[in-house]
Chain A
Amino acid sequence: MIRSEILKEIAPILNPHLVVCNIGLPSQELHMIDDNERNFYMLGTMGLSSSIGFGLALAQDKPVISIDGDGSVLTNLGTLPTIANNATGNYTLLIIDNGSYGSTGDQPTYAGKKTSLTAVAKACGCDNVIEVQDKDLGPVLQDAIDSDEMTIIVCKCDSGNIKLPVITLDPVVIRHRFMEAVAS
């Protein structure tokens, strides 16, 4: 499965919850599949999906899912020790690991070579790290959201993209409606 197929499959699981979605194609795909005010689309700032989602999870009690990519996590590897050492049960980090920088033309990442983000997350002190194959993600994600423990999911999948337009929503609109959803 490629990322867009995974997002289509898990969209009903994500729908009731606050989702911070990674820059580029992941946000564009989620926007196309199930645009709603509980989605925070990153229009810039590669690497910070996990940090933004984690700050949000620490600041309030609702479940938060950060959708990240292997390339983006590699950009901000320092996020994993921060998350591990300040764990909060309402946070789930979903790393869609297709071993490539999808939004920029599928250049390979080191996560698709020798580097295991699962092992990195564990070494950083994350207690609950699950590596899962794409087709098995749904129940694992649902369990992670329902659980009182913070979970890091590394979902291994194929690289590949679909063609779709950029998000033209104004960032302040995205932020404003998201904050209303957080506060509701």
Chain B
Amino acid sequence: MNIDKKIVDDLVANDVSFVTTVPCKQLAGVIDEVENRDEIFHIPSNKEDEGMGLCAGAFMGGKRPMIIMQNTALGVTLNTLATLTQFYRMPLPMLISYRGELREPVACQVEMAVHTKALLAQLNIPTYHFHWQKDVEEFDNILKYTFMSNKPVAILTDANFWGGYGDQ
């Protein structure tokens, strides 16, 4: 199974047509797939809170948005999640590369990994953790749940899910 293609197929099937991204090595394949699909407008952001602002505007303009980002940036988005996305009750699926988890080669990434689920729990953000490739089968349901509930929802995707780091 090509999980990059499966993820973007599910986005298209759920009418998610506005995707902003801040890159991560683990996410390179899915970002390429988003960029190559005619059904999706892809706009790279310079920072994750900026991207959430773009998504809020796109939602109010009638599009279903999504952000693809890395968990290390979660801290810079807390105010935006609380005072924009949640306060105004807007849906936002967040596909997050979960750096610092099993098969992570870079020690520093662990320092935010240990806070990631706690921060999301503190914000009462529904959170799913993809560890095995088969976990991607839940993605379609998570998207439907997000737009049903009008909430930000986090999908944490670790190195094992993406197939590890090869020889590193």
Contact = CB atoms under 8 A, between A and B. Distances in A.
Interface in B23-53: 41, 43-47, 49-53
A59 to B, nearest CB: 3
Interface in A51-89: 51-60, 76, 78-79, 81-82, 86
Q: How large is the interface on A (under 10, 10 to 19, 20 to 34, 35 or more residues)?
A: 20 to 34
Contacts of B60: 40, 52, 55-56, 59, 175, 178-179, 182
B55 A44 contact: no
A45 interface: yes
Nearest to A61: B61
B56 interface: yes
A145 interface: no
B73 interface: no
Interface stretch (B85-93, B95-103, B123-131, B159-167): B85-93
A30 interface: no
Interface residues of B, number: 32
Q: Please list the 4 inter-chain residue pairs (A to B) with the smallest Cβ-Cβ separation, ordered nearest first.
A: A55-B57, A44-B83, A59-B61, A51-B53
Interface of A: 20, 40, 42-45, 47-48, 50-60, 76, 78-79, 81-82, 86, 171-172, 174-175, 178-179, 182-183
A48 B44 contact: no
B63 interface: yes
Nearest to B57: A55
B90 A52 contact: no
Contact of A78 (B47, B80, B88): B47
Contact of B87 (A43, A47, A48): A43
A78 B53 CA distance: 12
A55 B54 contact: yes
A16 B55 CA distance: 24
